[in-house]
Amino acid sequence: MQQLYMDDLHPGDVFESGEYALDTPEIKTFARQFDPQCFHLDESAAANSFFHGLAASGWHTAAVTMRLVVESVPLAAGIIGASVELSWMRPVRPGERLRVKTTVNEIMPSRGKPDRGIARMTSETLNQLDDICLVIHHKIVVFKRS
Amino acid sequence: MQQLYMDDLHPGDVFESGEYALDTPEIKTFARQFDPQCFHLDESAAANSFFHGLAASGWHTAAVTMRLVVESVPLAAGIIGASVELSWMRPVRPGERLRVKTTVNEIMPSRGKPDRGIARMTSETLNQLDDICLVIHHKIVVFKRS
């Protein structure tokens, strides 16, 4: 893939990722380490919870989204996030296949550092039915071609 | 720990977590799965990168923060996030020990659903020198004592 610099990015550019399938063992492994709550770990407890069934940790969905962004948005210096806003729109269930569509919103040159800027991008994480599961608004550090 | 309902939460309440130490093997294992970029995987490549040395993925730091929030904020229905804003203030390095301080900012009753509301909380993730590494502003679903 071509490595992209700040100069190469324009509002409206879209990047589409491949797929990542989330199964029950991976959902439980992530949750045991990082989000040990019953609705991510135990089917019967999850059935009686807010989620009405086993759901992936939202932080797991976010981490998978990052993986798909790294694979699909070829920034020359890598994906270096300054800040993000995440909204979880719906739970991700075992067996779902996720993909990410990332859109460039705005390129903001740095005032103090002439070699770089911030790219505002939005990533939508969709399941195999094209339901939006997660929306991330990123501010990513990008560099000019030197 | 006492299980807390919406009625039990008040602006200014503070919850302090235990510690979580991040070592190089865990940093690389997380990065291989979710954020495969050189500055999270390879010491010498990281030395020549934006981070000037190996750094944990920001999503790893976020996941560890969630673990510490789950362990330290005893909400009766669990920690159910609707949305969050994350700002990464500084990289987390191998060997750092993280802890999280969570403060309740505001309790907003739901307009449509009388049994619940949204708690706005802020989690600061600090290293062993009390440097702030990550700030998360959460909106968390909370339930009234029925």
Note the pLDDT of residue B126. 98
**How confident is the model at residue A146, as a pLDDT?**
79
Q: What is the pLDDT of residues A98-123, one digit of tens each?
A: 999 999 999 999 999 999 999 999 99
Coil, helix or strand at residue B134: strand
Which structure tokens are listed for A132?
A: 């939006």
Closest B-chain CA to A49: B77
Angle of the A58-72 helix axis to the B24-34 helix axis, nearest 10: 70
Choose from A23, A33, A66, A137 for mutation: most chain B CBs within 10 A. A66
Task: Sort out which chain B residues have CB atoms less than 8 A from A84's CB and list them.
Answer: 85-86
Question: Is B70 an interface residue toward A (CB < 8 Å)?
Answer: yes
Q: Is the pLDDT of residue A44 over 90?
A: yes
Structure tokens at B125: 């993730």
B146 interfacial to chain A (CB closer than 8 Å): no
pLDDT digits (tens, 9 = 90+) for B33-65: 999 999 999 999 999 999 999 999 999 999 999
Q: Does CATH place domain B6-143 in 3.10.129.10?
A: yes
Contact between residue B4 and residue B74 where contact means Cβ atoms under 8 Å apart: yes
- Report whether B88 contacts B57 (CB < 8 A): no
pLDDT computed for residue A2 by the predictor? 82
Kindly list the domain boundaries of chain B, sorted by start residue. Answer: 6-143
Measure CA A13 to chain center: 17
Share of chain A above pLDDT 70, in %: 99
Chain A partners of B84 at a C-beta cutoff of 8 Å? Answer: 85-86
Q: Is 90 exceeded by the pLDDT of residue A33? A: yes
Tokens at B118, concatenated: 């949204």
The Cα–Cα gap between A87 and A135 comes to 5
Element (H, E) at A63: helix A58-72
